[in-house]
Amino acid sequence: MGSYNAQWLLKHRTIFLETASDPIFIVNSDGHLLKTNTPFNALLGYEENELTGRLFTDIIHTSTLVKKRTSHSKLHHFMRSSESPIEMQLLTKRGKPVEVKLRSIIVRNNNDEIMQAIGVAEDLNEHKKKKSLEQKVWETRETLHSVLSNSGDGILVVDANGTITIANEALLQMLGYREEEVIEKHLTEISPYTGTYTTTLGEEVVITDTYVNNQVEKADELFEKCKISNYEIYLVKKDGRLVPVDVTCSILQDSNGRRRGSISICRDITERKQIEKTLQNTHRELEKRVEERTANLKLANKQLKQEISERRRVEKKLITYQQQLRTLASEVSLAEERERRRIATNIHDRVGQALSIAKMKLGVLKKNIPSQDLVESLNEIHGLIAHTIKDTRMLIFELMPPVLYELGFEAALKDLAGQFSEQYDIKVRLHDDMQPKPLDYQTRVLLFQATRELLTNVVKHAKTLQAGIYISREGENLRIDVEDNGIGFDTSETDTPTGTTGGFGLFSIRERVNYLGGRLQVSSAPGRGTSVSLVFPLTRNGNIAKESMV
């Protein structure tokens, strides 16, 4: 800053200090502070005149060990060098260092002796902040320029009067304008008025007063509430077509909250609208197909319900017929059994008795005939009658075993096992747990017939020399198991009326057993033998119906 005439500085010192905006202080040749202005006091946190009279070295920040020497060195440099600034740290009133740059104005007398030095301080922290702020502003401008240039969306900035101030390249390309054709134009010049337009989708659109008024109301609301708003509008291209645009708009405000304009991000949604249109058409087509399919399904469902109803009716009728057939089969079986008993009774009472009497009389006659030749003939006749009586008894047993009605079910099974062991080359054993097993007449007859039929199947098909009948009581049920260790068979054959097991088959037995409330179980496999179980509920009252052979 150089040296100034002492009289001039002394004369204008007060005005100079009071009007300067920079921090300024004055020191004498001894280093005492003579005067500090308000900005300097504010920089270090002192009140007015609080620093007056103090040594300038007291407010220089240095380390404790070298403080005195360094401070005087800096003061000497400050007082002697008025051309180049020096940087140092001053201490605030609270002892906090402040980095400053000092420039000095040397005041000399007529003998060119230093009388005073006027220092002008520059707060380097503030300077750095200012530089940093300027850098940020520059970076922000560069970022904004980059965003405007590289954004794929159109960016439109208008002032508070609706005048376009910024339009980026994407927006210009969207509308087909050059920059000079848009800037300084009013926003309404790229907005549609009432009338008929063609869109970029190739559709005709009628812009009504209602549409225009709605856009005006949206703009007023946006400026009123200062909020970010998102909506869809039409903008007018240079060729007169309308382009559908998705707009996100925000109000621009200054530091005092005053509205300065708005910035809008504009995205061309022509392609999206085309996709939406395609989706709508597809949706309508799908709805049409769904309706047709639904109608077909309803018709099919109606027909299916009718078929189900008809099938249920037929099934119900079949079940009724099946029940009737089971009842008829049971009645036929009982009628057959009664007829067997009648025939067996007649054979027993008539043929059997007659043969027995004939045998007895033939024996008496044989004793009274002296001729040996005649005796031999009589013996031959006697043998034939005896054999016939035996066959008759066997026939009576097959038709109706008397022991079933006279001695009971268990005794009849024991006799049945003996008959099969005697007649066929097979050993049949009976195992009875000796528990009481009350059964009604119909059940006894069925179980006996079923057991006899099962043993017949063993003889015919099992190819074994051993079989067993197991009788046991399980709670309120009777269980009969007929087992063999023969060749076995495929149990699926038992589900058909005709199988390889012979007779009326396991299928017929199962049907009759089920009808009377019992159940039949078959366990067999080729090469593993066979086990057939009959389970029946016992008679609750314990009374067993007995019928005579009459």
Q: How many CB atoms lie within 10 A of CB 127?
A: 13
Residue with tokens 């100079």: 16
Asked if 269 contacts 174 with a C-beta cutoff of 8 angstroms, the reply is no
Burial class (CB in 10 A: 0-12, 13-18, 19+), 518: buried
Dist CA 14 CA 20 (whole Å):
10
| Buried-exposed string 16-29: b where 16+ CB fall within 10 A, e elsewhere | bbeeeeebbbbbee
* Helical (H) or strand (E) element with 169: helix 169-175
Per-residue pLDDT tens, the chain, 550 aa: give them.
444 454 555 566 677 777 788 899 988 888 899 889 999 999 899 998 899 999 988 888 875 334 444 545 555 555 555 556 788 889 999 989 988 888 888 877 788 787 888 888 888 887 777 777 777 767 766 666 677 777 788 888 888 888 998 888 889 999 999 989 999 999 889 899 899 999 998 889 898 988 888 888 877 777 676 667 788 889 999 999 999 999 888 888 877 778 888 888 899 999 998 998 899 999 999 999 999 999 999 999 999 999 998 898 888 888 887 777 767 766 776 677 677 667 766 766 666 677 777 777 777 776 777 666 677 777 777 777 777 777 776 676 666 677 777 788 888 888 888 888 888 889 999 999 999 888 887 888 888 888 888 998 999 888 888 999 999 999 999 999 999 998 988 877 665 555 544 445 677 788 778 877 888 999 988 888 899 999 989 876 544 434 433 2
Bridge partners, 3 (sequence order): 106
Residue 482, phi-psi category: left (phi > 0), alpha (psi -120 to 50), beta (remainder): beta
Please write the tens of the pLDDT for every residue from 81-115. Answer: 555 678 888 999 998 998 888 888 887 778 878 78
* Angle at the Cα of 500 from the Cα atoms of 498 and 502, rounded to 5 degrees: 75
Bridge partners, 122 (sequence order): 101
Longest dimension (CA), the chain: 208
CA-closest candidate to residue 34, choices 6, 14, 12, 4: 14
Reduced 3-state DSSP string for 207-253: ECHHHHHHHHHHHHHHHHHCCCEEEEEEEECCCCCEEEEEEEEEEEE
Q: How many CB atoms lie within 10 A of CB 446?
A: 24
CA-closest candidate to residue 113, choices 79, 83, 86: 79
For 123, 260, 464, 468, the CA distances from 494, given in Å and listed in that order, are 113, 98, 20, 21
| Amino acid 214: pLDDT | 85
One-character DSSP codes across 443-482: HHHHHHHHHHHHHHHIIIII--SEEEEEEEEETTEEEEEE
* Helical (H) or strand (E) element with 283: helix 270-346
**AA letter at 411:** A
| Amino acid 468: pLDDT | 92
Residue 484, phi-psi category: left (phi > 0), alpha (psi -120 to 50), beta (remainder): beta
Percentage of the chain with pLDDT > 70?
A: 81
Query: Hey, what are 370's tokens?
Result: 């002296």
Dist CA 404 CA 286 (whole Å):
77
For 127, 464, 479, 529, 532, the CA distances from 482, given in Å and listed in that order, are 116, 13, 10, 11, 5
Residue with tokens 């006279």: 406
Dist CA 34 CA 56 (whole Å):
10
CA-closest candidate to residue 104, choices 124, 122, 131: 122
What residues contact 166, with CB distance under 8 A and at least 6 apart? 148, 155, 156, 157, 183, 263
Dist CA 452 CA 399 (whole Å):
12
Sheet architecture: strand order including 477-484: 427-432, 466-474, 477-484, 530-537, 519-524
Dist CA 417 CA 429 (whole Å):
7
| Amino acid 471: pLDDT | 94
**AA letter at 474:** E
